[in-house]
Structure 1
Amino acid sequence: MSPVAAPRSTSADPIAPFFGPDYGALVRTDPQIAGVLLDELERQRGTLQLIASENPASPAVLAALGSVLSNKYAEGYPGRRYYGGCAQVDAAERLGVDRACALFGADHANIQPHTGAAANLAVFAALLTPGDRVLAMALQHGGHLTHGAQGNFSGTWFETLGYPVREDTELIDYDRVRDLARSHRPKLIICGATAYSRLIDFAAFRSIANEVGAYLLVDAAHFAGLVAGRAIPSPVPYADVVTLTTHKTLRGPRGGAILCRAELASAIDRAVFPFSQGGPLMHAIAAKAVAFAEASRPEFRNYATQVVSNARALTTALAQEGMRPVSGGTDTHLAVLDLRGAAGVAVRTADGVKVTGREAELRCERAGIMLNRSCVPYDSAKPMVTSGLRVGTATVTTQGMKEPEMHRIAALVGRAVRDADGSVAAEVQKEVAELVDEFPLYQA
């Protein structure tokens, strides 16, 4: 359906709860946007979601996001706002902070950051002065743009150095990290990444940071939900500060949060407000509180464990399709696949043409499979082209899929990636639709 066409739904439709308390009002007053929302729901329901940074929030989270708390301005923190009438939003934020601290075992939590990038900006502002030196994972090896990209605040205002993964194992070389830290004496060391599938040795990073007198920031944006679900070890006992996003594996609303040691709480809070943000998004804060409560339940632990099991199964099955797992596999929710294959044997189309990450992403989307291109370590292709793909299992696990479905998904991805002329896209798309119909998203 075109975004400008008349919507097919009314407020009586069973999907209406996913659009806020009065979807009917939206239909009446802005049918174009109502149509966009319906189209997006259909896209999410009708295609395979393998993007590692995405996860569908629960109806309870969406209800909080669409609530009247969006109306309230509340600069400041609970009990010390710059506006009157904040009793209820204070209660929501206190609940969220208390739940975050309990969930992660942290001394202090700030849940106001609008995004993970905003959370990282606040940490830099709290702990560093422009020009200070930062050591983080090299972007082309899996690091995030807020860890030193030249177009980002981190690479513009700070002297950033990147540590690589080993060329032979594609794992973090902790001896190399230590050598770089000793040579350059950074004030901040960052571990955590956006495209690294293995567990990180937080104790080793803590030891290195102690040796050179640096702060240790763990960017847990991708794996925070796995920590909350006890599927992987927690960085909180080792880090000075942990940043995270509340979507991705945590399955909450889009947003950020910061956990820190008690002695850094005041500096972190001041760096969020008033330094880098004004009024908090109180509807999002309430939704974060809902997500923290959901992540504390036993069923979420089962979910997090299944996410990792599914990722391992999917990675193994994609390797059988000729897509070599970077570092040999995964311990988390995501995998990076090298389309150049093992021993340089590239994934190719029927006529023998090699497939790039960009081409593979577009072919998969044509077939109803959503994933993204990714650089692989020591990649010779340009960043907008790449030689790899990144896949994640958070969403399909939320839908209830398990290991058998991962093998089906891998076969579909393999067929789509090799489909140079689009001749099998419709057939793959049909099989994708059949699979997701077995595990419906937002079943009314």
Structure 2
Amino acid sequence: MTDERLAKTVSSAYDAALEVIASVEPRVAEATRQELADQRGSLKLIASENYASPATLLTMGTWFSDKYAEGTVGHRFYAACQNVDTVESLAAEHARELFGAPYAYVQPHSGIDANLVAFWSILANRVETPTLQRLGAKNVNELTEEDWETLRHEFGNQRLLGMSLDAGGHLTHGFRPNISGKMFHQQQYGTDPETGLLDYDVVRAKAQEFRPLVLVAGYSAYPRRVNFAKMREIADEVGAVLMVDMAHFAGLVAGKVFTGDEDPIPHAQIVTTTTHKSLRGPRGGLVLAQEEFAADVDRGCPMVLGGPLSHVMAAKAVALAEARQPEFRTYAQHIADNAKSLAEGFLTRGAKLVTGGTDNHLVLLDVSGFGLTGRQAESALLDAGVVTNRNSVPGDPNGAWYTSGIRFGTPALTTRGFGHEEFDTVADLVVEVLSKTRPGTNKAGAPSKATYATEDGVADRVKDRAAEMLDRHPLYPGLQLS
């Protein structure tokens, strides 16, 4: 099928879908149309967002959504799941081949679900099974109430060591208000206060003192690569399981930008990820594991999950098939190259970056130099059509709500075809907005961490400059709605 014919087919498909939706609830159809217009007309720089292909999006809107399929391939608790077996098997096959993993579990609905499956699989493998053997039981069904008390006590006293939220970790890595921080006796490691970089000797010392069952590596706002071989050495020294959450940088692993010691797959016993972000697929999760954990991960349902989302698993299969094409490696390299361009653009304009730069897909800008909080900066940029998210910086004095940072990611605009020159211009637009924005006051006239004022005309001027780039790189080119 030619590109022109494919574009017409996609346009017809979405026109027809929106017409059907409008016949039931026209406000949903209108909001859907508006969302496309908003995304087309803004600079999307949120590191955890991207644009899935029309094929991936269309796959989610099918009758697979109507199926319950609790269980695993060939072992379902519902009848007539043969077609679900097909798409789940395909998604798992593509995941194994793409990442070089021995085992893939594609049922998690999200990244946090994937992490919960991983955590409970580690507990089952390293706590439940040895406890059952010690109690003389073949499985949990043979446990007495007294035995259950023993098992619950041992589950509840395990330790987890993960990266702190303000250093760039994720809330599912042991952040106290999150379920991960409640499941485990947890401690966190940070980064060097001067450089913002991971210090593996400090992580090692912390691990040797704390002796965790689980050492979590990975990040959501750390703009550098991680040496997973060193992290595995540390885990092995203290008898911990190395779990890596690569949700943010999975596309760079799939695209072979991260290889060797920077590829978590050969080094971690369990790796989790989302399938959107830099992978450019549907919103969902994956668990990749070494063989010793495969059987435990396979118990994700009923251990943590209920019925898998069959339509999303089908979309995962499509997106992972796309990621196995040679052009995806080119795309992944462009993500990293563009992040460097964005970082250099900020630095040449005098902005302060956490760690002084980047070598992955994201850039973390410390906006305190502009006299702003992250919330003020995020809002001012949004007024100018630049979509970002505020983020903590190491030792953040403004906490996790107001923050002192803005996180930028390059995957989405790279999908649209932005390159070095455009990302340098993006840096210029951001600095223009922030340098001409001042903090505001509350109703009582006191300084406010939320309110702000940007000089007249700045937002419109930035929107106009951004529109020139966006017009050169249209979102879903050829997709025309009537």
TM bucket by the smaller chain? Answer: over 0.9
Which one of 294, 312, 317 corresponds to residue 322 of structure 2? 294
Amino acid at match of 1:153: I
CA contact (8 A) 2:244 2:270 kept: yes
What residue is the counterpart of 2:86 in the other structure?
91
Which of 248-257 and 378-387 deviates more? 378-387
Does the alignment pair 1:156 with 2:182?
A: yes
User: Following superposition of structure 1 onto structure 2, how do residues 37-56 of structure 1 map, counting pairs within 5 Å?
Assistant: 37-56=32-51
Which one of 356, 381, 384 corresponds to residue 398 of structure 2? 381
Q: Point out where structure 2 has 5 or more consecutive residues left out of the alignment.
A: 1-7, 124-154, 438-452
- Report SS of the residue matched to 2:401: coil
Distance in 2 (alpha carbons) for counterparts of 1:14 and 1:211: 54
User: Following superposition of structure 1 onto structure 2, how do residues 57-72 of structure 1 map, counting pairs within 5 Å?
Assistant: 57-72=52-67
What residue is the counterpart of 1:363 in the other structure?
380
Does the alignment pair 1:232 with 2:258?
A: yes
Distance in 1 (alpha carbons) for counterparts of 2:282 and 2:433: 31
What residue is the counterpart of 1:414 in the other structure?
431
Distance in 2 (alpha carbons) for counterparts of 1:105 and 1:274: 27
Distance in 1 (alpha carbons) for counterparts of 2:9 and 2:93: 37
Distance in 1 (alpha carbons) for counterparts of 2:333 and 2:394: 27
1:223–1:306 distance in 2 versus 1, CA, 3 Å: same
Query: How far off its partner does 1:13 sit?
Result: 10
CA contact (8 A) 1:52 1:390 kept: yes
1:27–1:14 distance in 2 versus 1, CA, 3 Å: farther
Query: How far off its partner does 1:138 sit?
Result: 1.0
Does the alignment pair 1:259 with 2:288?
A: yes
Q: Identity across aligned pairs (percent)?
A: 45
User: Following superposition of structure 1 onto structure 2, how do residues 398-413 of structure 1 map, counting pairs within 5 Å?
Assistant: 398-413=415-430
Query: How far off its partner does 1:14 sit?
Result: 6.7
- Report SS of the residue matched to 2:233: helix
What residue is the counterpart of 1:248 in the other structure?
277
Q: Give the TM-score taking structure 2 as reference length.
A: 0.85
Which of 383-392 and 238-247 deviates more? 383-392
Which of 288-297 and 377-386 deviates more? 377-386
Amino acid at match of 1:249: S
Query: How far off its partner does 1:323 sit?
Result: 2.1
Query: How far off its partner does 1:382 sit?
Result: 2.3
What residue is the counterpart of 1:130 in the other structure?
156
Q: Give the TM-score taking structure 1 as reference length.
A: 0.92
CA contact (8 A) 1:322 1:339 kept: no
What residue is the counterpart of 1:430 in the other structure?
464
What residue is the counterpart of 2:100 in the other structure?
105
Distance in 2 (alpha carbons) for counterparts of 1:157 and 1:15: 47
Distance in 2 (alpha carbons) for counterparts of 1:28 and 1:413: 42
1:65–1:371 distance in 2 versus 1, CA, 3 Å: same
Query: How far off its partner does 1:355 sit?
Result: 1.7
Query: How far off its partner does 1:17 sit?
Result: 3.5
Distance in 1 (alpha carbons) for counterparts of 2:12 and 2:241: 47
- Report SS of the residue matched to 1:384: helix
Distance in 1 (alpha carbons) for counterparts of 2:198 and 2:17: 50
Distance in 2 (alpha carbons) for counterparts of 1:268 and 1:335: 33
Distance in 2 (alpha carbons) for counterparts of 1:367 and 1:14: 31
- Report SS of the residue matched to 1:197: coil
Which of 285-294 and 331-340 deviates more? 331-340
Which one of 29, 47, 56 corresponds to residue 24 of structure 2? 29
Amino acid at match of 1:305: Q
Query: How far off its partner does 1:319 sit?
Result: 1.8
* Residue-by-residue CA offset, 1:63-117 (whole Å, 9 max, x unaligned): 1111121111111111111111111111101011011000001010000000001
Query: How far off its partner does 1:418 sit?
Result: 2.6
Q: Point out where structure 1 has 5 or more consecutive residues left out of the alignment.
A: 1-11, 341-345, 348-353
Which one of 387, 394, 397 corresponds to residue 411 of structure 2? 394
CA contact (8 A) 2:164 2:175 kept: no
* Residue-by-residue CA offset, 1:202-251 (whole Å, 9 max, x unaligned): 01011011111000001000000110000112210000000000000000
What residue is the counterpart of 1:17 in the other structure?
13
- Report SS of the residue matched to 1:221: coil
Distance in 2 (alpha carbons) for counterparts of 1:190 and 1:152: 15
* Residue-by-residue CA offset, 1:39-77 (whole Å, 9 max, x unaligned): 111111000000000001000100111112111111111
Does the alignment pair 1:73 with 2:68?
A: yes
1:16–1:51 distance in 2 versus 1, CA, 3 Å: farther
Query: How far off its partner does 1:28 sit?
Result: 1.6
CA contact (8 A) 1:363 1:419 kept: no
What residue is the counterpart of 1:82 in the other structure?
77
CA contact (8 A) 2:373 2:402 kept: yes
What residue is the counterpart of 1:335 in the other structure?
363
Does the alignment pair 1:441 with 2:475?
A: yes
Which one of 94, 97, 115 corresponds to residue 120 of structure 1? 115
- Report SS of the residue matched to 1:22: helix
Query: How far off its partner does 1:322 sit?
Result: 2.8
CA contact (8 A) 1:16 1:23 kept: no
Query: How far off its partner does 1:131 sit?
Result: 2.6
Amino acid at match of 1:322: G
CA contact (8 A) 1:355 1:418 kept: no
User: Following superposition of structure 1 onto structure 2, how do residues 289-328 of structure 1 map, counting pairs within 5 Å?
Assistant: 289-328=317-356
Could you say which structure has the larger radius of gyration? 2
Distance in 2 (alpha carbons) for counterparts of 1:252 and 1:210: 33
CA contact (8 A) 1:17 1:59 kept: no
Distance in 1 (alpha carbons) for counterparts of 2:432 and 2:157: 49
* Residue-by-residue CA offset, 1:402-444 (whole Å, 9 max, x unaligned): 0010111111111122333331111111222222111110112
- Provide the alpha-carbon RMSD of the alignment: 1.4
CA contact (8 A) 2:10 2:54 kept: no
Amino acid at match of 2:476: Y
Query: How far off its partner does 1:22 sit?
Result: 2.7
Amino acid at match of 2:20: A
Distance in 1 (alpha carbons) for counterparts of 2:285 and 2:156: 23
Which of 203-212 and 415-424 deviates more? 415-424
CA contact (8 A) 1:18 1:59 kept: no
Distance in 1 (alpha carbons) for counterparts of 2:168 and 2:13: 38
Query: How far off its partner does 1:16 sit?
Result: 5.5
